[in-house]
Structure 1
């Protein structure tokens, strides 16, 4: 047996002695961290043998391993040869903390144990590292910027974990150490103090993009300004570096001032007609008044002196369909862009991606134009899943008040009669569910509640004579319960769809099912649409 010291504590950096012949044994290759760590080690030229207790056909992320044919994988168990060949073994933290039988066996062999944190210490990310955060628009901005980058011939590091967004736990940090030319990372959190720093700091960000900050991811015990300060953790990590921020959000402006940020700030924004007026809490204790373009952003002012100014990059001459615009640069050049997706929110997302491509990556106009034009959207965002008669059926992941308001406003700009089937259960509790219903009633012609929370809010609204001509209750809502942010069950989503389809005399043009459940049960909805035909 090898003579090796106990390397299972992280009080100090480990003295890891490796060379080109070092063999790493990775436990749990079909899990998130094991999969990523195995690929990182092989990308850096090391030999990996890996294991997972499941059978090959049950390996959740097996497709991510297809480009690693030399990786030796043991499925269904851990043979003795695994321990005999390994110079180091990478164990999931859960097995270390529980001092599992497998952990005990590794200790018996005196094999040094490594953790995900050790792997991050061993390798640095490919640079530049661009971290994107905000309440809304992160996923689309990441995807759009990646589309531009691929058009340029560069290859971002990709986690390639099927059906995972990749914005939580160790994924961004590990993803940034994979093979690639640069990193474009979604760094979102649920607003817990310290969580964004914990997520982004191991990524060693060079550039940050902040899309917006709205009070939508809060539970009943959280304050909006505390949530905003969590977004400020990325700002703190980027002192002396570069930030690209939504100029039209007063909370971002106030946060930069409060944190006394020192570094290069590049601003982007829109010029269009305000659609409503609202207020947002400011750190001064007053409320900033906002003439909104979309929820929470627009032209603003506050008594403390924070007020709207023209951004460095201004999107203007926006067409009626909200899929084409001109962009004025700081040196007064005018660039024209067209999108294959609609919506002012997508013009915000596109502008952020364009600014990063121009200023940070220094890509040429033609490449950026094509990358934006050929971007067809993100699954679950204003995604058409079928058509019945003359009715378009769509799902959208919008699951907070600002998201619902923004999406439905854009859909009303595209369709005459819109039905919104609400499948949400707000992260902010029942207060958030009430706000979601309120915003849906502002924009949709008819609203159908398909989750328990949405149904209770709708019943209360009707009892108070609100939405009497808009709210349509399902005749029967099946059993369901809130699971995390998943509001409706599969049967409840189906009931919502069939209630919407029953509105035969309402000349409906669009049925949109909004919320996480709508997206999760998309395939079920497609089957129902097919059977209805």
Structure 2
């Protein structure tokens, strides 16, 4: 892919998390960037400050200086700018292709993929390699709380990327270190069958090894272990919460300040690790990051020290606020496994009630995983469900948040309340809250706005000004 720094690279939908991150790295490398989106956002403001030309409407004239166009899978084929790009015979690249263009500039190319945990694991890796000589270039799916950004240009040989498996585009990345957190039946609107999903993950593994690289695989995931049988285990590092592995955890203890464990590294003495994040799933994520760091020859004590400072990422168990000992968290979890794991982690860490506010994401996902959603909230003391966030989907008959709430209620395991309009959730919830409660908002849509509303209402109630 030949792109000159004289060329203008135009992003259609530049405000998106992944698109804005790529644009940020390109700008810091000295490339010229323009882009369009439907509205101003934190991401577009950041890019404008770095020198990007931003348009807040998508029209063909925005491409008058562009030589290259980058488009994500979220952009429809009838988009005016995309049509104009084809009319002008401009180079049009998918987001993953542009990410690969950046990755190929680096000697050590780490791609983190999997159904769950990609963002946290890749963010932990960014922290692990944050030393002076190894400062990585990284591009992940959410802002790191410690750095207020999801992408940064480093001066080391490492490029760390969150590799999106949802549309198969992770196969476009030319990585030589592949981290796979897990594999579950998800994104079936793209994969259609579970066998096709396995084929894609198997291809990802093969591509990494063909680049004379190595894999880091979660041994606790039986599906991944079945795929790993096809490859040379001398080129795979396994990590696990249970059983023997290259790195593993023992004596896991959950508390209000986070989670701790004894780290076992093959051939070394045990080391105590104290994380600021919650849940066994984050222990697992940290093990993946540790495995790569150890394999790359980093000092183990420095790896642990950096991980212990890691405070998470935006919308991944993010603490919005603590008012009168009522903690409000926001989380991106939208799959039953993620929901159940996160709630279980909270229940282990805190003594108070765990109240979950969930906004289902996509009609197809709700339909395909309906039975699993019904049992996903068992670790919540109370559940408030609102209507499905459609994203770009049309409604599906007999699939709704209300029907899901009714089915959960039939199980009798969790107190459930359906609030159709999400704007009414805070006022309904306020009178029910008491000191010690943990309130977690979950979903990949816009439920995070309600978390912020509730926080402001609580501050007003208890007359907290800051």
The answer to whether structure 1 residue 232 and structure 2 residue 179 are counterparts is no
| 1:472 paired residue number | 416
| 1:291 paired residue number | none
Match of 2:14 among 20, 24, 31: 31
Larger Cα-atom Rg: 1
Equivalent residues of 2:140, 2:161 under 8 A apart: no
1:150-229 pair list within 5 angstroms: 150-158=130-138, 181-190=157-166, 192=167, 194-198=168-172, 200=173, 204-219=174-189, 222-229=192-199
For normalisation by structure 2, the TM-score amounts to 0.75
1:64-463 pair list within 5 angstroms: 64=47, 66=49, 89-92=67-70, 98-99=83-84, 104=88, 114-116=91-93, 124-158=104-138, 181-190=157-166, 192=167, 194-198=168-172, 200=173, 204-219=174-189, 222-239=192-209, 240-257=212-229, 259-260=230-231, 264-271=235-242, 310-321=244-255, 323-360=259-296, 362-416=297-351, 417-425=353-361, 428-440=365-377, 442-452=378-388, 453-462=400-409
Counterpart-to-counterpart distance in 2, 1:31 and 1:363? 35
| 1:302 paired residue number | none
CA deviation profile, 1:232-270 (whole Å, cap 9, x unmatched): 23102112420011111111110112x445760111111
How many angstroms does 1:63 deviate by? 2.3
> What SS does the corresponding residue of 2:137 show, helix, strand or coil?
coil
> What SS does the corresponding residue of 1:473 show, helix, strand or coil?
strand
- Structure 1 residues 513 and 156, CA, compared in 2 at 3 Å: closer, same or farther? same
Higher share in strand: 2
- Structure 1 residues 265 and 520, CA, compared in 2 at 3 Å: closer, same or farther? farther
How many angstroms does 1:128 deviate by? 0.3
> What SS does the corresponding residue of 2:253 show, helix, strand or coil?
coil
Runs of 5+ in structure 1 lacking a partner? 1-12, 108-112, 166-171, 272-308, 479-491
Runs of 5+ in structure 2 lacking a partner? 72-78, 389-399
Equivalent residues of 2:139, 2:160 under 8 A apart: no
| 1:61 paired residue number | 44
How many angstroms does 1:178 deviate by? 8.6
Query: Aligned Cα RMSD in Å?
Result: 4.2
Counterpart-to-counterpart distance in 1, 2:102 and 2:178? 24
> What SS does the corresponding residue of 1:253 show, helix, strand or coil?
helix
Counterpart-to-counterpart distance in 1, 2:106 and 2:376? 42
How many angstroms does 1:378 deviate by? 1.3
Q: How many residues are aligned here?
A: 424
Counterpart-to-counterpart distance in 1, 2:272 and 2:158? 27
CA deviation profile, 1:142-173 (whole Å, cap 9, x unmatched): 111111211455322245999699xxxxxx9x
